[in-house]
Amino acid sequence: MTRPNTILEIKDLHVGINDKPILQGLDLKLEKGKVHALMGPNGSGKSTLANLLARKEDYVVTSGHIQYLGEDLLTLSPEEAAWKGVFLSFQYPVSIPGVTNIQFLKSALNATLKAQGKPVLDAMDFLKIVKDKMAALEMPEALLYRFVNDGFSGGEKKRNEILQMSLLEPTLAILDETDSGLDIDALKAVATGINALRNENRAILLITHYQRLLSYIEPDFVHVLSNGKIIKSGDKSLALELEEKGYAWL
Amino acid sequence: MTSSTDLNKLLDREYQAGFVTDIESDTVPPGLNEDTIRLISAKKKEPSFMLEWRLKAYAYWLTLKEPDWARLNIAPIDYQKIIYYSAPKTKKALNSLDELDPELLKTYEKLGIPLREQERLNGIAIDAVFDSVSVATTFKEKLASKGIIFCAFSEAVREHPELIKKYLGTVVPYTDNFFAALNAAVFTDGSFCYIPKGVCCPMELSTYFRINAVATGQFERTLIIAEEDSVVSYLEGCTAPMRDENQLHAAVVELIAHHRARIKYSTVQNWYPGDKEGKGGIYNFVTKRGLCAGVGSKISWTQVETGSAITWKYPSVILQGDYSVGEFYSVALTNHYQQADTGTKMIHIGSHTKSTILAKGISAGHGQNNYRGLVDIKRKAKHAQNYTQCDSLLLGNHCGAHTFPYIEVKNQSAKIEHEATTGKISEDQLFYCRQRGINAEDAISMIVNGFCKQVFKELPMEFAVEAQKLLAVSLEGSIG
Amino acid sequence: MNLLTPNLDSAFKKRASHISALSPALQKAQSDAFSHFHTLSFPSNKLDHWKYTDLPQQSLPMFTPPIAIEPNVPFQQLQSLLMDPHSLTLVLFSNEVAVKTPDQPWFSANPTSPDWKFDPLRHSSLDALNMAFSGNEFHIRIPDHSITEAPIYIYHITESFQDPVLINPRHHITVGKNAQATLIEVYLSVGQSPSFTNTVTDITLAENACLTHLFLQKGSPQSLQIAKIHIDQDKHSQYVGNSIMLGGSVNRAAFHINLNESFATCQFSALQMAKETQRLDLDFCVQHYKPNCDSKIISRSVIQGNGKSAFTGKIAVQKNATKTTAQLENKNLLLSATAEANTRPQLEIDNDDVQCTHGATVGHLDPDALFYLISRGIKTEDARQLLIQAFIYPSLQTLPTVSLPYLENLIHEY
């Protein structure tokens, strides 16, 4: 199914929390098939943007627009946004003791399929699909029967996020500091998983602090967020410049 | 954050079992005195020892004062306004379900209690108690072939008086407490179960209670005896119709496990909780106690409570035999204006005894949940071990959760660990689920189920499914 | 139920006429208090909060306030009991001032205030008894914005005389806005005859006040040391409290802390060391009334001989107290076959936006750990000491540093 070219368009977005302004006039456009990296110093508003796009309700949008697939994103609840193909890989995935991973993944996938008017999967079909995807991410099957993220290492948590992305097949994938807390091997496995999910119908927004991840996932565009605005955009070489010169350079 | 209206919508489930059966009852006028007791005993055709015991208990009850209800808010109970006996009129003893009053059968079907075909498929033997009278017991022959006795308590009094005489009141004597004394005087029926030596009961034994007639108190008495090396799993489920005035339920359950015997007693209780304003509903005061008399014996109490206006019960285990084990697994949900005061007592007497307590409380609406537990290690109880975990989940800001454990240790070789936590479902967990497409209602249900998982795992399969459904229904809309 | 206390009754009557002349209002308040005491009688095991205290019911009615106070023990002999003989010090003998470091504006002794009304939710019969017989109240006032560098020491020494003596110390401690102070209170009972110290203390912390407090009880074989400490905290105030019980016939302290305004914090550590036939009872309660308050309680009990410890620790969070964090931990070590531990951590939570936990354990010295130490050449007795010290270590973390050497000695004696 072909999608419109523009997946996400943000215009002059102003967002605050608890009367404190965070995003102060953000513009961003993501087109299908492209990977955009969003970099910036701590406190610049990167996670705010990520969580806002996933429809976390703590923020106040004082002005600006966000169009997702031609629709006003801000009218959607978190689950509605999810059903329409928005996916956020969390920087710190929360654990849910008592709920097994397999139970969680199946509920999420079936809820989404149902909302999209597609047939839901039974236990057997689901198990087959998830096992294949886990193998591709080098995730041991035992993780299915553990409680969601409970006692998972950093690498296991991030892989679990990418596993979910792989299952839910989003249109817009926002990956919030996916590389934080990972050693080289985990980083490589996660990056491989993400690269395998690049396709011409999907837009990926890669939020990262360091250039390191971008050596493994080559972005089409790099943007720098500072003081709530995008102050510079460029291609992947911008990331390398930043690495050399630091954010203060801008 | 989801608005509280969504939450409230979800919390307002309609009580499913709130219908009344239209049936002729054989009722004794309200009020309690010696004559009422003699009447009950006569109607049940009891041998004289039973009447004597009842009268002694009644005399003792008259000397007692109603207990002080710490933290419970209850209107006084008028014991003279209660009807102590109400039996559906059946003409003769039943030999098969076909002879059962069709109205009664319909009642049980409406409640989803399979007295007919279904139970044959599930293989559960059922004894149905309707307003104080055991109505039918299925599977008698199959059990009888193994020497297992599973019948109405009143039948046991008539047919097996020697067993009744030997064990009745040995675990909960009528002097135990106010409601135990009342129950001993006016109990009308309940279940009796005897598993002989070395027998593993081939099916789960089940009883359903229902309080139907207006102003009836329901006073059941259950006695389960497991001889050496025997095993039995018993399920107790309860429902009641919607009524304006409160109804009283004061039961006594006694369990005795001999050497290496194992008794598992599970309850899924769904009494009418009172309407949203807290009017009506059941007062549920129960004394349940198990005696691990034999070496290596084990008694497990598992319960899921989602109803009743006021609950007051402490299933206990007396760990008398060396190496005996007591377990208590509980999920208690209070919603609307329900109040629960529940918990357990583990009394360690023998050596190398072990107890495990896992209590999960969920408070929603204006519900108040109290856990009161006692772990008592007696002086001679060597190498006793206890592990207790009490967790409370608060859904919304108008409910309360209170934990009052008592740990009393008189032997230095004991090893006791107790932990408790209270909190709410985290916003982060909720958002995580919703971002993955699971809507708020389902997310809460899933997280609450996860919260209760350790307890549900202990329930027999059929009950586990019922319990999960019950919880899901009760919780729709409970976001804080 | 009316109590037979002929000694107390006659002592009360004797004082009454004297007090009445000075202040009729006080006399009336004390009469009321005494009649409340009579109605309730001494607390017994039937009261839930006194369930494990084991007050010697038979001998209680024999206690009576001393007639004349003449310290029998010369002050010089007490030097060894004092932590720092050169510091800001107040020494009270049977509740009469014996020694006071000069130039102390922070301390005053005033006649007992008649402003007292019995409150069944707050007062026990011993509060009433204290009020009935209290002659003087001692006030310690730390002015606003003052920072007292040196700790303030108060030694309460109760001596025993031939007749069983009852002392009723009554204190008010106020720490002003933005003020800081360290207060070390040592309750010592000396002598071989029975004595009963029945203390009632009120502490108020104003906005942003900070008080580090050590409440140490060390008695004699026949002493009863009972204390009730009530603390009210204003916003942003900090109370760092320590309760140490080192035995006597009965040591009991009931701490009731009210976090009345937001951002108040309470950190409380407790240590009980019981032996012989000692009864040590800590009854702790912290009430969270407003949002954003934190409380943390750590407690350890070590019991040997025929000793018995009791711990009741309640965290109560009221409806409006959102964003509350509260933790409580109580651990008990039984060192003999006849030792007994009773513990009741409690939670009463009426607000959902909280994180509250509690935990309690009861056990014995880990034989594996003991063996490990011994196998490395450490003598058995020393190994035991090491493990016991390691066990009590967490409860000593909030003590005023100056008190540590003194306490080390006392604990070592145990």
This model of the complex carries an ipTM of: 0.91
CB contact under 8 Å between A104 and B446, yes or no, is: yes
The mean per-residue pLDDT over the stretch A88-113 comes to: 92
Q: Kindly report the CA angle at C82 between C81 and C86, in degrees rounded to 5? A: 150
CB contact under 8 Å between B433 and A56, yes or no, is: no
User: Residue C259: its pLDDT value, please?
Assistant: 97
Tokens of C279: 């009864």
Cβ neighbour number for residue B31 with a 10 Å cutoff: 14
Tokens of B186: 């006016």
Chain B interface disruption, residue of C362, C366, C368, C370, most B CBs within 10 A:
C362
Chain C interface disruption, residue of B376, B409, B451, most C CBs within 10 A:
B409
Query: Cα dihedral sign for B209, B213, B214, B215?
Result: negative
Instruction: Give the closest of C322, C357, C363 to B416, CB-based.
Output: C363
CB contact under 8 Å between A79 and B1, yes or no, is: no
Angle between helix axes A154-168 and A123-136 (nearest 10 degrees) is: 130
B463, B424, B429: which is closest to B446 by C-alpha? B429
Using DSSP, state whether C401 is helix, strand or coil: helix
Which chains pack against C, by 3+ Cβ pairs within 8 A?
Answer: B
The mean per-residue pLDDT over the stretch B235-248 comes to: 58
Chain A interface disruption, residue of B393, B426, B432, most A CBs within 10 A:
B432
Pairing of strands B298-305, A71-72: unpaired
Highest mean pLDDT among B311-315, B384-388, C64-68, C92-96: B384-388
pTM, two decimal places: 0.83
Domain boundaries, chain C: 5-412
The 3-class secondary structure across C316-344, one letter per residue, is: EECCCCCCEEEEEEEEEEECCCCCEEEEE
* B212, B133 Cβ separation under 8 angstroms: no
For the beta sheet containing A71-72, the strands, ordered from the edge strand earlier in sequence to the opposite edge, are A20-31, A6-17, A60-68, A71-72
Instruction: Give the closest of C319, C342, C347 to B420, CB-based.
Output: C347
**Residues of A whose CB is below 8 A from B446:** 99, 103-104, 107
pLDDT band at B278 (very low <50, low <70, confident <90, very high): low
Contact between chain C and chain A (3 or more Cβ pairs less than 8 Å apart): no
Instruction: Measure the CA dihedral C28/C31/C32/C36, to 10°.
Output: 170
The distance of C395 to chain B (nearest Cα, Å) reads 18
CB contact under 8 Å between B437 and A112, yes or no, is: yes
Using CA atoms, how far residue C301 sits from A71, B249, B250, C213, C283, in Å, is: 64, 43, 41, 19, 13
**Bigger pLDDT: C290 or B237?**
C290
pLDDT band at C11 (very low <50, low <70, confident <90, very high): confident
Establish if B406 touches chain C: CB-CB under 8 angstroms.
yes
Establish if B401 touches chain C: CB-CB under 8 angstroms.
yes
User: Residue B122: its pLDDT value, please?
Assistant: 44
Pairing of strands A221-226, A229-234: antiparallel
pLDDT band at A161 (very low <50, low <70, confident <90, very high): very high
User: Residue B309: its pLDDT value, please?
Assistant: 60
Is a pLDDT exceeding 80 seen at residue B270?
Answer: no
CB contact under 8 Å between B446 and A55, yes or no, is: no
**Bigger pLDDT: B213 or B421?**
B421
User: Which of the 8 DSSP states describes residue B83?
Assistant: B
User: Residue C90: its pLDDT value, please?
Assistant: 78
Is a pLDDT exceeding 90 seen at residue A93?
Answer: yes
Chain C interface disruption, residue of B357, B406, B444, most C CBs within 10 A:
B406
CB contact under 8 Å between B432 and A94, yes or no, is: yes
Q: What is the largest CA-CA distance in chain C?
A: 73
Specify the length of chain A in residues. 250
Looking at the DSSP assignment, which residues form a beta bridge with residue C250?
C224, C279
H or E, element range at B334: strand B325-334
CB contact under 8 Å between B394 and C358, yes or no, is: no
**Residues of C whose CB is below 8 A from B398:** 319
Residue type, C270: A
Q: Which residue of A has its CA nearest to B436?
A: A108
CA distance B335 to B400: 10
Characterise B324 by phi-psi region: left (phi > 0), alpha (psi -120 to 50), beta (else). Answer: beta
* B301, B265 Cβ separation under 8 angstroms: yes
CA distance A196 to A166: 9
pLDDT in tens, B414-456: 999 999 999 888 889 999 999 999 998 889 888 998 899 889 8
Q: Which residue of A has its CA nearest to B452?
A: A98
User: Residue C297: its pLDDT value, please?
Assistant: 97
CB contact under 8 Å between B396 and C352, yes or no, is: yes
The mean per-residue pLDDT over the stretch C214-240 comes to: 95
Which chains pack against A, by 3+ Cβ pairs within 8 A?
Answer: B
Of the listed ranges A61-75, A88-102, C55-69, C337-351, the least confidently predicted one is C55-69
Q: Kindly report the CA angle at A49 between A43 and A52, in degrees rounded to 5? A: 130
CB contact under 8 Å between B454 and A98, yes or no, is: yes
CA distance B220 to B78: 19
**Residues of B whose CB is below 8 A from A116:** none
CB contact under 8 Å between A77 and B434, yes or no, is: yes
The distance of A83 to chain B (nearest Cα, Å) reads 6
The mean per-residue pLDDT over the stretch B106-112 comes to: 57
Using CA atoms, how far residue B308 sits from B28, B249, B270, B336, B342, in Å, is: 25, 10, 7, 11, 12
H or E, element range at B5: helix B4-11
**Residues of B whose CB is below 8 A from A57:** 1
The distance of A113 to chain B (nearest Cα, Å) reads 9
CB contact under 8 Å between B434 and A98, yes or no, is: no
Q: Report residue A111 CA to chain centroid gap.
A: 19
Chain C interface disruption, residue of B335, B408, B451, most C CBs within 10 A:
B408
Tokens of C23: 């202040």
Interface of A with B (CB under 8 A): 54-57, 77-79, 81-83, 86-88, 90, 93-94, 96-99, 103-104, 107-109, 111-112, 115, 147, 164, 168
From the number of C-beta atoms within 10 Å of its C-beta (0-12, 13-18, 19+), residue B174 rates as buried
CB contact under 8 Å between B450 and A57, yes or no, is: no
Q: What residues contact C382, with CB distance under 8 A and at least 6 apart?
A: none
B289, B287, B39, B308: which is closest to B186 by C-alpha? B39
Q: Where are the alpha helices (DSSP H) in B66-139?
A: 102-110, 117-122
Is a pLDDT exceeding 50 seen at residue C166?
Answer: yes
Tokens 């495990």 — which residue? B356
Which chains pack against B, by 3+ Cβ pairs within 8 A?
Answer: A, C
* C407, C244 Cβ separation under 8 angstroms: yes
User: Residue C87: its pLDDT value, please?
Assistant: 67
CB contact under 8 Å between B394 and C351, yes or no, is: yes
B216, B212, B276, B208: which is closest to B240 by C-alpha? B212
Q: Kindly report the CA angle at B82 between B77 and B86, in degrees rounded to 5? A: 150
**Residues of B whose CB is below 8 A from A107:** 438, 442, 446
Tokens of C26: 């006080």
User: Residue C127: its pLDDT value, please?
Assistant: 94
Cβ neighbour number for residue C32 with a 10 Å cutoff: 17
User: Residue C50: its pLDDT value, please?
Assistant: 93
User: Which of the 8 DSSP states describes residue B216?
Assistant: B
Instruction: Give the closest of C347, C353, C362 to B424, CB-based.
Output: C353
Q: What residues contact B164, with CB distance under 8 A and at least 6 apart?
A: B50, B156, B157, B192, B223
Is a pLDDT exceeding 90 seen at residue B213?
Answer: no
pLDDT in tens, A131-151: 999 998 889 999 999 999 999
CA distance A62 to B212: 59
SS3 content of chain B, % helix, strand, coil (to 5): 25, 35, 40
* A42, A16 Cβ separation under 8 angstroms: no
User: Residue B11: its pLDDT value, please?
Assistant: 43
Angle between helix axes A101-115 and B440-456 (nearest 10 degrees) is: 150
Establish if C285 touches chain B: CB-CB under 8 angstroms.
no
From the number of C-beta atoms within 10 Å of its C-beta (0-12, 13-18, 19+), residue C308 rates as buried
Q: For all residues of chain B together, what is the average pLDDT?
A: 79
User: Residue B121: its pLDDT value, please?
Assistant: 40
Interface size, chain B vs chain C, as Cβ–Cβ contacts under 8 Å: 110
C202, C243, C192, C247: which is closest to C225 by C-alpha? C247
Q: Kindly report the CA angle at C379 between C373 and C381, in degrees rounded to 5? A: 100
* C342, C312 Cβ separation under 8 angstroms: no
Q: What residues contact B53, with CB distance under 8 A and at least 6 apart?
A: B168, B169, B174, B184
DSSP string, B338-366: -EEEE--EEEE-SSS-EEEEEEEEEEETT
Q: Where are the alpha helices (DSSP H) in chain A?
A: 46-53, 78-83, 101-115, 123-136, 154-168, 184-196, 212-216, 236-245
Q: Which residue of A has its CA nearest to B429?
A: A94
CA distance B398 to A25: 41
Using DSSP, state whether A43 is helix, strand or coil: coil
Using DSSP, state whether B474 is helix, strand or coil: helix
CA distance B43 to B169: 22
pLDDT band at B472 (very low <50, low <70, confident <90, very high): confident
Q: For all residues of chain C together, what is the average pLDDT?
A: 89
The distance of C18 to chain B (nearest Cα, Å) reads 43
